[in-house]
Amino acid sequence: MPVTPTRWLAEYAWLPEHAEPTPDVLIEVEDGRITALTPLLAAGGPPAGIEVLRDATRLPGLTLPGLSNVHSHAFHRALRGRTHGGRGDFWTWRDQMYAIADRLDPDTYLALARAVYAEMALAGITCVGEFHYLHHRPDGGAYADPNAMGAALVEAAAHAGVRLTLLDTCYLTSSVDGQALAGPQRRFGDGDATHWAERATAFQPADPHARVGAAVHSVRAVPADQLRTVADWARDRQAPLHVHLSEQPAENDECRAVHGRTPTALLAEHGVLGPDTTAVHATHPTSGDLTLLGESRTGVCLCPTTERDLADGIGPARRMADVGIRLSLGSDSHAVIDLFEEARAVELDERLRTRRRGHFAPVDLLTAASTAGHAALGWADAGRIAVGARADLVTVRLDSARTAGVPPVGVFFAAAAADVEQVVVDGRVVVAEGQHLSVDVPAELSAAIEAVTPA
């Protein structure tokens, strides 16, 4: 591993509260933290003459704060390109997803997740939230270490060089009316929320790159009278709490039929909503749902590429923002892993929905892709190029076929993951010249996917 420089000179850097990038910024780092920032043009030149720049490594292009992938199901990456051969919807896609889930064990999951997280690093993602419910053996029995699958994900993130928030997911039933888990779903369940909490409490990774949060899979998967157990577990630990919410209209209809209220209202009634909670998708909320989410300061993670891949619909992102909901982004099923695509889709999907342009400024998309996402995952000291923040730096080329001639402020409407040139995580270079320094990503993805894909 090459020695990490302590000074970088960014051709452009996007600093907090700035509507557009700042040229010629000297970034100084020590012990994984940003210790000084000097915009050289604003300072009238280097503060101590040119000598201060002799050991600075120049970063041509635009340097962004580390990007945050708030919602990931790492094993879904094995489905990319394999689920498009016919008609169907989320529910038919889910059957194919279960076939992959049924074939994973701690070793194959480690190999697959390591490659997937390394692909994320290549895309400029420095932190990922893994919505983790593959807890047990395929028959539902526990491994000798009941958290062996979670431990595999923590190890995978370490190998890939990214931070991880493991969102340990409570998944107890297969439907809103409480039908039992069956088939591949059996490995998801812990019996009840109390047993889920006992297992989750027992998993305390010492690795500094990993934290544990909680998730309610959905109102389909956690009975109403057990929702508060999960919420209290997270609040007692000041940990992030995430939940799939109103991803499909069928979920809303079933919840109304069983509980007489929407999923959002049910979650509010049982104490799940709040400033440390992130609702994933929220594609089909009512006006009343948006009010509940906004008033409770619950965030929403949008996953536009998955939502369109599964034909789920377009969530009302602008209406969410207007009621004070903070927006973050995830690649979810990994139809693509590209936070630039996810970010611009927030604006472009709104244009399709409303037939109007100009809903989100570029800095709003940056915030969703970085600052807001890190906060949603419990890393509030990341996602900003600021003194005291974690030294996560993502440098994007401005001379590729996609970005040539594009002003730096337009990068979220032009760049792709392939334009990421260098990635620094906590002060350590993980990607250089567009290559991961420790993982052969294409080769490892191919081998790991082949090992778990049904013949």
Which residues contact residue 378 at a Cβ distance below 8 angstroms, ignoring those fewer than 6 apart?
165, 211, 213, 239, 240
Catalytic annotation present for 332: yes
Q: Of 73, 136, 217, 281, which one is the catalytic site residue?
A: 281
Bridge partners, 423 (sequence order) = 394, 431
Determine the distance from the C-alpha atom of residue 435 to the mean position of all C-alpha atoms in its chain, rounded to a whole number: 21
Cα(63)–Cα(59) distance, integer angstroms: 7
Token pair in block for residue 142: 């526990």
Q: What is the pairing mode between strands 393-396 and 57-65?
A: antiparallel
Q: Which of 26, 20, 22 is nearest to 58 (CA)?
A: 26
Phi and psi torsions of 28, nearest 5°: -110, 135
- Cα distances from 352 to residues 306, 410, 422, in angstroms, run 17, 20, 33
Cα(392)–Cα(385) distance, integer angstroms: 8
Catalytic annotation present for 281: yes
Bridge partners, 26 (sequence order) = 9, 38
Phi and psi torsions of 65, nearest 5°: -65, 160
> DSSP secondary-structure letter at 142?
P
Angle in degrees, 0-180, between the axes of helices 227-236 and 193-202, rounded to the nearest 10: 20
Bridge partners, 327 (sequence order) = 300
- Cα distances from 369 to residues 151, 302, 322, 383, in angstroms, run 26, 10, 18, 9
Rg of the chain, C-alpha, whole Å: 22
Q: Of 190, 309, 332, 338, which one is the catalytic site residue?
A: 332
Cα(378)–Cα(41) distance, integer angstroms: 35
Which residues contact residue 442 at a Cβ distance below 8 angstroms, ignoring those fewer than 6 apart?
none
Q: Tell me the three state secondary structure of residue 363.
A: helix
Cα(331)–Cα(72) distance, integer angstroms: 6
Cα(220)–Cα(200) distance, integer angstroms: 20
Q: What angle (nearest 5°) sits at the alpha carbon of residue 167, between those of residues 166 and 171? A: 135
Q: Which of the residues are catalytic?
A: 281, 332
